[in-house]
């Protein structure tokens, strides 16, 4: 999937600039994200600008273009009486900065010239500036310059000033990436995941002294590889700076000895899996050094619960999933539905291909919006759902849904409770004016993507991964553990609820969702 580049600027005065930059991004092979281009999924429960901030968080880069207009206030600024406020564009910039997303900043040359005049005359309130509509533009530029990193401002006077810089910078990013990879290979080392090394060594029943002897190094070296490089009182994001360096050749010997080939390199997507982290925090001899005796990754308080939908908070009389229910209603076999699922799960087709094939089937037998909503009526909420949600909200715990189901179905089944969820991620179906299906937009947050969604939640809430509880029931939900969340399997199907690497806990037969509170 090509990188997403969010273009942030005021609209009316810079429309021609946005069009030009958008076309350049697409020609470069990347995906341009602009609200006028349909690149943002708007959540009807939220103000429009809130969806923009979410789209920023979902992007790999942001291009900030500052002209002479400061822009409209962000929604959460409307009721404030202060003269200073954050515009929508400024909040988009802040969102990218807070998430450490690379930002490319361009400011109109005339605005920069007047900014220099402003800097020399900050106490002179009588100056009228010709190029700006609001002096808060200078506050934004001040804010940019005060950042320690990602603070370089490129002046522009013509469109090519922007695209020439982007072309050069993106090429340099690729060159640096290649060189960094080459340097790592040249120095013959990588980061080793201390959590997993300790786990696999312990499970193998081998002491540090025995492992050192088997791979030809002293025990002290093994101990150093099992000790985190950085000790902090709080989780600082999904990165490898916590872990020590290890030579490739030595790492290969260790993995062979412990029968865990390819599992110990620190940049794997399951590096903070709660199973390994909890085991380490409870058993490692290094745990006493953690601040102050409390391991920073281990949950102290549940701050969010992420739910699956089908089979977790909803149920069908025949045990069908939403998709199986639709296939059957269109006179197809659910075995055909299962075959496509299996092909995707075994990497024989992409998610996009899966959606495309499904769409053609649904078009052929004319799935309509009214039929979809009618089918949703066959689903019911698991007993105790409303009581559980009320209790979680009472405790100020954020609630989310990350599901492979369909947004319209979820919305119908949840009713008024739909609005209580901070975010709901699922597949989208689009229909024409006659009500017949025209498109299926697959969610990024199913299967492996469930972990990606939980990572976003952790970063949003600035919490530990284990402060998040994920509740699911099936094989596609097991990926959630890779984000480090505690995982609870309820009424399991197509998954082993006793698999400790996927599920922290399970409820084999849940008859009332209030039973989940035990694990919150």
Most confident option among 45-59, 263-277, 358-372, 452-466 = 358-372
**pLDDT digits over 400-416, tens only?**
999 999 999 999 999 99
**pLDDT digits over 370-397, tens only?**
999 999 999 999 999 999 999 999 999 9
Classify residue 382 by its DSSP letter.
Answer: P
**pLDDT digits over 194-209, tens only?**
999 999 999 999 999 9
User: Which percentage of the chain shows pLDDT scores above 90?
Assistant: 64
Instruction: Tell me which H or E stretch contains 119.
Output: helix 109-120
Q: State mean pLDDT over 357-369.
A: 95
Residue 400 neighbours by CB distance under 10 Å: 22
Beta bridge mates, 486: 469
284 has pLDDT over 90: no
Better-scored residue on pLDDT, 148 or 482: 482
Which pLDDT score, from 0 to 100, does residue 421 have?
96
Instruction: Tell me which H or E stretch contains 369.
Output: helix 369-376
Which residue blocks in 28-108 are alpha helix, DSSP H? 48-57, 88-98
424 has pLDDT over 50: yes
* Cα–Cα distance for residue pair 125/129, rounded to 1 Å: 11
**pLDDT digits over 436-457, tens only?**
999 998 888 899 899 989 998 9
Task: Name the 3-class secondary structure at 413.
Answer: helix
84 has pLDDT over 70: yes
* Cα–Cα distance for residue pair 311/334, rounded to 1 Å: 17
Residue 310 neighbours by CB distance under 10 Å: 29
- The verdict on pTM exceeding 0.85 is no
Which pLDDT score, from 0 to 100, does residue 92 have?
94
As to burial, measured by CB atoms within 10 angstroms (0-12 exposed, 13-18 middle, 19+ buried), residue 171 is exposed
Q: State mean pLDDT over 99-109.
A: 92
Q: State mean pLDDT over 58-70.
A: 94
């Amino acid at each position: 999937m090509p990188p997403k580049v969010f273009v942030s600027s005021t609209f009316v005065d810079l429309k021609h600039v946005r069009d030009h930059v958008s076309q350049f991004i697409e020609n470069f092979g990347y995906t341009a994200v602009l609200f006028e281009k349909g690149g943002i999924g708007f959540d009807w429960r939220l103000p429009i600008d809130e969806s923009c901030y979410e789209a920023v968080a979902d992007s790999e880069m942001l291009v900030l273009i500052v002209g002479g207009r400061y822009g409209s206030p962000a929604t959460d600024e409307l009721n404030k009486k202060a003269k200073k406020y954050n515009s929508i564009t400024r909040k988009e910039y802040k969102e990218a900065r807070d998430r450490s997303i690379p930002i490319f900043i361009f400011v109109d040359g005339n605005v920069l010239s007047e900014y220099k005049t402003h800097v020399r005359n900050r106490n002179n309130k009588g100056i009228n500036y010709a190029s700006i509509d609001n002096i808060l533009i200078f506050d934004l530029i001040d804010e940019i310059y005060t950042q320690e990193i990602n603070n370089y401002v490129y002046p522009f006077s013509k469109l090519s000033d922007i695209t020439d810089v982007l072309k050069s910078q993106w090429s340099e990013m690729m060159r640096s990436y290649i060189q960094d990879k080459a340097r790592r290979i040249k120095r013959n080392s990588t980061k080793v995941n201390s959590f997993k090394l300790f786990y696999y060594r312990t499970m193998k029943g081998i002491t540090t002294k025995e492992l050192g002897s088997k791979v030809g190094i002293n025990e002290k070296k093994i101990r150093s590889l099992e000790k985190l490089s950085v000790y902090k009182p709080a989780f600082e994001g999904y990165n490898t700076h916590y872990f020590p360096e290890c030579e490739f050749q030595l790492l290969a010997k260790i993995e062979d000895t412990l029968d865990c080939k390819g599992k110990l390199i620190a940049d794997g997507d399951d590096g903070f899996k709660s199973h390994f982290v909890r085991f380490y925090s409870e058993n490692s001899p290094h745990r006493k050094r953690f601040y102050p005796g409390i391991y920073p990754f281990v949950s102290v308080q549940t701050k969010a619960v992420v739910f699956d939908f089908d089979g977790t908070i909803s149920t069908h009389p025949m045990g069908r999933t939403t998709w199986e229910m639709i296939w059957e209603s269109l006179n197809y076999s659910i075995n055909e539905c299962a075959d496509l699922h299996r092909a995707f799960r075994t990497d024989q087709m992409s998610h996009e291909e899966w959606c495309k094939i499904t769409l053609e089937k649904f078009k052929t037998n004319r799935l309509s919006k009214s039929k979809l909503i009618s089918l949703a009526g066959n689903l019911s909420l698991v007993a105790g759902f409303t009581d559980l949600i009320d209790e979680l909200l009472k405790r100020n715990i954020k609630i989310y849904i990350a599901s492979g189901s369909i947004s319209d179905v979820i919305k119908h089944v949840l009713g008024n409770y739909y609005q209580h969820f901070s975010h709901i991620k699922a597949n989208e179906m689009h229909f024409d004016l006659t009500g017949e299906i025209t498109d299926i937009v697959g969610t990024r947050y199913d299967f492996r993507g469930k972990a990606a969604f939980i990572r976003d939640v952790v970063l949003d809430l600035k919490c530990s991964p284990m402060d998040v509880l994920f509740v699911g029931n099936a094989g596609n939900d097991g990926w959630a553990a890779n984000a480090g969340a505690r995982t609870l399997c309820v009424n399991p199907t197509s998954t082993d609820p006793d698999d400790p690497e996927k599920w922290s806990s399970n409820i084999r037969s849940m008859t009332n969702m209030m039973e989940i509170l035990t694990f919150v």
